[in-house]
Amino acid sequence: MSPLTRVAAVGLVLAAAGCATRHRACAPPELTRESGLVQPGPADESAVVETELLRSLVDRTRAANSAPDPAAKPGKFLALSGGGMYGAYSVGVLKGWTDTGTRPTFDVVTGVSTGALVASYAFLGTAYDEPMTRLYTTVSDKDIYRRRPRVAVLFSDSAASSEPLKKLIAAQVDDALLAEVARAHAAGRRLYVGTTNLDARRLVVWDMGAIASSGRPDAADLYRTVLLASASVPGFFPPVPVEVEVNGRRFTELHVDGGATTGVFLRASTLHLDREALRAGRQPLAGSDAYVVIAGKLYADPACTDQRAVRIAAGSLESVVASQTRGELYRIYSLCLLGGMRYHLAAVPENFDAGGDAMSFDPAAMRRLYAAGYEAAAGGRAWRDTPPGAEPHEQTRPRTGTQFLAPGAR
């Protein structure tokens, strides 16, 4: 269960209590993991056609952009998604990448939720691999949250206290780290973290380098507050208050997990594009590389859903969150096509079993995730160059009935 599915779970605990489970025959996950159930009869070529159409578009775009723009300034950009303990996979990818000797210094890094906690380390470079790895292979639940008694949840703003996470962030984000972020910002590099303004129901993007170098007495507190807010799963963790001033008047905003509005982000506004170059028809980012690391799977694991309100709501919300992330990945891919950038996507393999949900923070499961990410990156297998939905086995094919064949199964 992904972190945001707990929003539905917490709200429906009482409504679901005492409801009888309706048993039914569910297709086993190995038959439904991919959208490969096909109807008996002639082969359906629609999936292949859609894939070939996309690749044709890519080839035409690359051909049109083959002439180099002498004014282009190629960059290296990294976007890190949310995903709770699955952030260990992202960390493994980064460390495995380091050990190949090919990991670049990133010009822009963005992070959401667990990706926000990793982002500062990724931004500062390989010198911070050790604390980043230690954080995502040794922590446990007690280092992240304290569950409230079930009765207390009814009168609280969350199912758990985030005080342990707040202390952990304070210990990790010290004055030395802030000074390094400020220096990188002064050199023109950028670090962004996303939160969700609960009142506005919108994504808020924070320029962490600007905060670190602001010279404000509360800079360190604000930096840590943003990280806590970005990782505060709504309903599971309490919202984080942020004091703001508008036209001389002070207000208090409530911020929660950036994953409530987007699972990952890399926007044109974060890349500081040359508007005059764009208006002149040039591609100022031609030759750049955009890397996206998803702390989780591109498609939620199939599971037999109990016919109880809490399970139905949780399963539906998990589908929404996964779909939202895939949509954002396609948005980033479109940005790459328009900007002449190369697209690189890494995610937990669909057949990988971590042995725990995103909020379990089991050290053994996190070490397995870390190892999977490390081995994929070190072995050159981590990256794909297409967005989710581009491959034939990922296509949704029209159904013409209720009798199917499962490819590869007997």
Which member of 257, 288, 289, 306 is catalytic? 257
354 and 83 in contact (C-beta within 8 Å)?
no
172 and 128 in contact (C-beta within 8 Å)?
no
39 and 403 in contact (C-beta within 8 Å)?
yes
Extended beta strands in 27-125, E state: 76-80, 108-112
257 carries an active-site annotation: yes
Q: How many CA atoms lie within 13 A of 200 on its CB side?
A: 11
Q: Where are the alpha helices (DSSP H) in 65-128?
A: 87-100, 114-124
Could you tell me the sign of the dihedral formed by the alpha carbons of 244, 246, 249, 253, in that order? negative
Which token pair is 349?
A: 């393999």
Which member of 81, 113, 162, 288 is catalytic? 113
The distance of Cα 41 from the centroid of its chain, to the nearest Å, equals: 39
Residues 6+ away with beta carbon under 8 Å from 66: none
Residue 38 is classified by DSSP as B
Write out the catalytic residue numbers: 113, 257
